[in-house]
């Protein structure tokens, strides 16, 4: 997601901020900017594109100041552009802010301020913070920040400067990270430790709704009643490299751990307010008689899961097609077909080609994409955005999970529009989806067990994954994850298919990972488990309805109870952790597996 750095002190803020932004580059961004303050007021330089271009601009038209804020932006509301880049200033040029997060009620605030005459210049949710702060400003910046944060719904980490209170850099956060670094040459705010590590290893971790006031000589903290609070700094002992990964050994593990937050952001964007919600409200499903989901790799697996959810809830037949196949098969689609394209990057060549094929045949194309402004987002008829933030590990985890929840919500909303479910049923299903972030968090209790179990799996040449119905669909993702990062051959099978061939491969010591989140099908999958155990297999059984007879060869991971249609969001996190720890125990380059690229832009 976006990166924030701020400085107030005895040195020129510009090089410190530019250097800090470079240290935040790993978070991914599409534009960058800086605002500094000196005795004359604010100087702002910001633009779409790489940091090198920002540095070049600053070199050509130098700016300087003793205090400043900088930002790398990953677009969520409003396309990547110069005007949408941060910092944002209020119309009176009195308050400048940088923001990381999502303001869910920005439309309401914007409308209110527009009625009072405020003129907005960007399409971002963030600009409302600067405008609202100017609107409330009464000579006391802390008081103003309290009022602003009371009005905001959503998540934020903010760096704020006010022209009338020179020398004060203000920071506040809710549900997004922010640290305060202290040193003899001045004080810092940042999204993450690497941005300040060159200057200090003494940092305060801010808690939600705490307000930090930094001056060149010190930092004070306040609560939302404007009362001072005491905090103790921590000493960072990480290297820059591990600091970028939030202290985790690999980006993949960091991204797995980010999933409760990503699920929450994506679900809120679809259910509470924002462009995703607007699109879901306005889409007319009743005109389609067929749904085709097309994608590649993990995104295809998300489609396989979605097929079960759509068909069960909407009673419309759904075909899931590999995008690389779809374009060559003379697909049977027309203007009554809804074609859903799923892609993290929005740049996968095969998925782009499938989209163009579908459009040329008159189908309506709806994309589910993570990268704003990507080709698929631009060319499809409509786009729902996963709010996963930049995904750095090649193997997708958090973007996949965000795709799943958007697909569930789409299915529930469509089922309701088609009158296949009642208002109450829709309400109940959506609240089960809204409960997923908290339930996913509970899964991290199993990390130690999974790590230990995985350490005994490094010697396998082949591992099988089985499930039935939707559990089979998610076992395909478990299998893909394992093979791509651990280089162990693996296959996913529908449990009932074992006896039609694969069971001949089961022998003493083979590992089978079985998934069971459907009470109705538990007996069936358990009988598959018994069959493979009796042929000498070890089984790792993952589910929420397991009642197995204890066996030395059987290990069980219980996951929280949830409607089986949404259970893949929980089982997949266990599968991701399992793959990660197998690969970690093999000492592999997990974030960059051999022969793979993050975005496959060639056929």
Phi, psi torsion values for 374, nearest 5 degrees: -75, 165
Indicate which single residue of 200, 294, 298, 324 sits in contact with ligand F6R (rule: CB under 6 A).
Answer: 298
Angstrom distance (rounded) from CA 14 to CA 37: 10
Report if residue 348 touches ligand F6R, rule: CB under 6 A.
Answer: yes
Quickly count: other Cβ atoms within 10 Å of residue 417's Cβ. Answer: 17
Catalytic residue, candidates 216, 483, 592, 598:
598
State yes or no: is 598 an active-site residue. Answer: yes
Cα dist. 36→83, 149, 182, 185 in Å? 17, 23, 19, 17
Query: Do 464 and 510 form a contact (C-beta atoms < 8 A)?
Result: yes
Examine residue 576 and tell whether it contacts ligand F6R (CB under 6 A). no
CB of 476 to ligand F6R, least distance (A): 11
Interaxial angle between packed helices 51-60 and 13-23, expressed in degrees from 0 to 180 and rounded to the nearest 10: 170
Does 401 interact with ligand F6R (rule: CB under 6 A)? no
- Residue 296 found at the interface with ligand F6R (CB under 6 A): yes
CB of 538 closer than 8 Å to CB of 508: no
Tell me how far, at minimum, the Cβ of 304 lies from ligand F6R, in Å. Answer: 12
Burial tier of 587 (Cβ tally within 10 Å: 0-12, 13-18, 19+): exposed
User: What does DSSP assign to residue 497?
Assistant: G
Helix axes 259-271, 275-282, angle to 10 degrees: 50
Piece in contact with ligand F6R (CB under 6 A), picked from 99-107, 213-221, 345-353, 491-499: 345-353
Binding mask 212-251 for ligand F6R (x = CB under 6 A): ----------------------------------------
Distance CA 72, CA 22 (A): 9
Q: Is 324 in the site for ligand F6R (CB under 6 A)?
A: no
Which span sits near ligand F6R by CB under 6 A: 132-140, 244-252, 295-303, 487-495?
295-303
Is 345 an interacting residue with respect to ligand F6R (CB under 6 A)?
yes
CB-based burial, 485-510: b 16+ in 10 Å, e otherwise: bbebebebbbbeebeeebbeebeeeb
Other C-beta atoms within 10 Å of 178: how many? 27
Beta carbon nearer to ligand F6R, 345 or 380: 345
Cα–Cα distance measured from residue 572 to residue 577, given in angstroms and rounded to the nearest whole number: 9
Q: How far is the CB of 548 from ligand F6R (least distance, A)?
A: 30
Among 65, 80, 186, 297, binds ligand F6R (CB under 6 A): 297
Cα within 13 Å of Cα(168), Cβ side: 16
Q: Which of 31, 100, 269, 396 binds ligand F6R (CB under 6 A)?
A: 396
Whether 357 and 327 have beta carbons less than 8 Å apart is answered as: yes
Residue 83 CB, nearest approach to ligand F6R (Å): 28
Whether 314 is a known active-site residue: answer no
Pairwise CA distance, residues 589 & 583, whole Å: 8
- Does 484 engage in binding with ligand F6R (CB under 6 A)? yes
**Segment 349-388, which members bind ligand F6R (CB under 6 A)?**
351
Closest to ligand F6R by CB, 192 vs 258, is: 258
DSSP 548: P
- From 177-185, 189-197, 290-298, 533-541, give the range in contact with ligand F6R by CB under 6 A: 290-298
Binding of residue 389 to ligand F6R (CB under 6 A): no
Q: Which stretch binds ligand F6R (CB under 6 A): 19-27, 186-194, 296-304, 565-573?
A: 296-304
Q: How far is the CB of 369 from ligand F6R (least distance, A)?
A: 8
First to last CA, the chain: 29
For ligand F6R, which residue has the nearest CB? 297
* Interface of this chain with ligand F6R, residues 423 to 482, rule: CB under 6 A: 480
CA angle 236, 237, 242 (to 5 degrees): 95
From the list 2, 314, 457, 545, the catalytic residue is 2
Beta carbon of residue 347, minimum distance to ligand F6R (angstroms, whole number):
7
Give the residue among 334, 336, 306 at the shortest CA–CA distance from 321. 306
Q: Binder to ligand F6R among 395, 466, 525, 562 (CB under 6 A)?
A: 395
Residues that are catalytic: 2, 598
User: Footprint of ligand F6R on this chain (CB under 6 A)?
Assistant: 296-299, 343-345, 348, 351, 395-396, 480, 484, 599-600
């Amino acid at each position: 997601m976006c990166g924030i750095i701020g400085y107030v002190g005895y040195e020129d803020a510009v090089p410190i901020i530019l250097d800090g932004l470079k240290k935040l580059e790993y978070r991914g961004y599409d534009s960058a900017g800086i605002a500094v303050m000196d005795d004359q007021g604010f100087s702002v330089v910001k633009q779409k594109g790489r940091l090198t271009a920002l540095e070049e601009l600053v070199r050509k038209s130098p700016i300087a100041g003793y205090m400043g804020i900088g930002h790398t932006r990953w677009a969520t509301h409003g396309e990547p552009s110069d005007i949408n880049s941060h910092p944002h200033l209020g119309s009176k040029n009195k308050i400048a802010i940088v923001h990381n997060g999502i303001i869910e009620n920005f439309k309401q605030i914007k409308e209110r301020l527009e009625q009072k005459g405020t003129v907005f210049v960007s399409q971002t949710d963030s600009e409302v913070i600067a405008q609202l702060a100017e609107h409330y400003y009464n000579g006391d910046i802390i008081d103003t920040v309290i009022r602003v944060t009371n009005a905001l719904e959503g998540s934020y980490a903010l760096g704020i400067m006010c022209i009338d209170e020179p020398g004060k850099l203000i920071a506040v956060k809710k549900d997004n990270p922010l640290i305060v670094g202290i040193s003899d040459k001045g004080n810092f705010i940042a999204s993450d430790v690497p941005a300040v590590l060159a200057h200090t290893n003494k940092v305060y971790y801010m808690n939600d709704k705490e307000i930090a006031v930094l001056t060149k000589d010190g930092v004070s903290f306040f609560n939302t009643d404007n009362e001072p609070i005491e905090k103790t700094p921590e000493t960072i002992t990480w290297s820059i490299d591990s600091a970028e990964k939030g202290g985790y050994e690999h980006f993949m593990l960091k991204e797995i751990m980010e999933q409760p937050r990503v699920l929450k952001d994506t679900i809120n964007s679809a259910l509470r307010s924002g462009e995703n919600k607007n699109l879901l409200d306005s889409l007319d499903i009743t005109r389609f008689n067929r749904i085709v989901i097309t994608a590649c790799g993990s995104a295809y697996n998300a489609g396989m899961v979605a097929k079960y959810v759509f068909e069960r809830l909407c009673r419309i037949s759904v075909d899931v097609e590999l995008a690389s196949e779809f374009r060559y098969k003379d697909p049977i689609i027309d203007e009554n077909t809804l074609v859903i394209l799923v892609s993290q990057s929005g740049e996968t060549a095969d998925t782009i080609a499938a989209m163009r094929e579908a459009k040329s045949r008159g189908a309506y194309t709806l994309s589910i994409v993570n990268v704003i402004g990507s080709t698929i987002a631009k060319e499809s008829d409509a786009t729902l955005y996963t709010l996963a933030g930049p995904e750095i590990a090649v193997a997708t985890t958090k973007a996949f999970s965000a795709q799943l929840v958007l697909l569930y919500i789409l299915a529930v909303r469509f089922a309701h529009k088609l009158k296949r479910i009642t208002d109450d049923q829709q309400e109940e299903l959506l609240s089960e989806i809204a409960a997923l972030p908290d339930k996913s968090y509970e899964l991290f209790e199993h990390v130690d067990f999974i790590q230990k179990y995985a350490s005994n799996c490094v010697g396998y040449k082949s591992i099988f994954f089985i499930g039935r119905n939707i559990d089979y669909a998610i076992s395909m993702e478990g299998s893909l994850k394992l093979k791509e990062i651990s280089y162990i051959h693996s296959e996913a099978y529908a449990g009932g298919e074992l006896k039609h061939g694969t069971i001949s491969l089961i022998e003493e010591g083979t590992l089978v990972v079985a998934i069971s989140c459907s009470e109705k099908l538990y007996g069936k999958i358990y009988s598959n488990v018994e069959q493979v155990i009796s042929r000498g297999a070890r089984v790792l059984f993952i589910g929420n309805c397991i009642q197995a007879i204890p066996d030395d060869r059987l290990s069980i991971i219980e996951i929280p109870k949830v409607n089986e249609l949404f259970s893949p969001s929980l089982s997949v996190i266990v599968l991701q952790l399992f793959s990660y720890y197998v690969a970690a125990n093999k000492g592999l380059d997990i974030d960059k597996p051999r022969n793979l690229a993050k975005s496959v832009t060639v056929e």
